[in-house]
Amino acid sequence: ITVILLVSRRNIVRPLRQLTASARQLRAGSYTPVPVRSRDEFGQLATAFNEMADTIQQRDKRLQELVAALEQRVVEAQAARERAETADKVKSAFLASMSHELRTPLNSVINFTKFVIKGMMGPVTERQTESLNKVVDSAKHLLNLINDVLDKPLRRRKCGREQYSAGSGLYR
């Protein structure tokens, strides 16, 4: 009986303990291959376990590579978003500045010309009135063009409908 116990301990219990220890190491993220000492069922089990552990390690490595690539893409996307937000702020400041710099003097020209037409600066002939009315009409037309150019992007931004076509570099 003692001999049977020693043989079974050596041939059954020891390989099972080694397999259990390797399984625990694998679960903890570390792995040492199980020695394959025979071709019997325990040797086949050890071989299958080693193959499974190799597959798990390969998948873990691939997963780590994918996570690193994803983290890099997130960093790149955040940087692109920050650049886009900065560009949007610059664009808004530019449009506000252009709105003021173009509209204010043009409105002054329109109003001053209307004062002249009304005779507030002295008498005006019919021919001068016609010419001054053309100036007012042209200035109003120019003001409408400026309003269309400057207000369209602002309206889109406020409505949240501005779309950027990356291929063309144009806003729609």
- Residues 118-170: pLDDT tens digits? 999 999 999 999 999 999 999 999 999 988 888 776 666 555 544 444 444 44
pLDDT bracket for residue 68 (50, 70, 90): very high
SS3 sequence, the chain? CHHHHHHHHHHHHHHHHHHHHHHHHHHHCCCCCCCCCCCCHHHHHHHHHHHHHHHHHHHHHHHHHHHHHHHHHHHHHHHHHHHHHHHHHHHHHHHHHHHHHHHHHHHHHHHHHHHHHCCECECCCHHHHHHHHHHHHHHHHHHHHHHHHHHHHHHHHHHCCCCEECCCCEEC
Residues of the chain with pLDDT > 70, as a percent, come to: 82
pTM across the whole model: 0.53
- Higher-confidence residue: 116 or 159? 116
Mean pLDDT for all residues in the chain: 84
pLDDT bracket for residue 114 (50, 70, 90): very high
- Higher-confidence residue: 82 or 11? 82
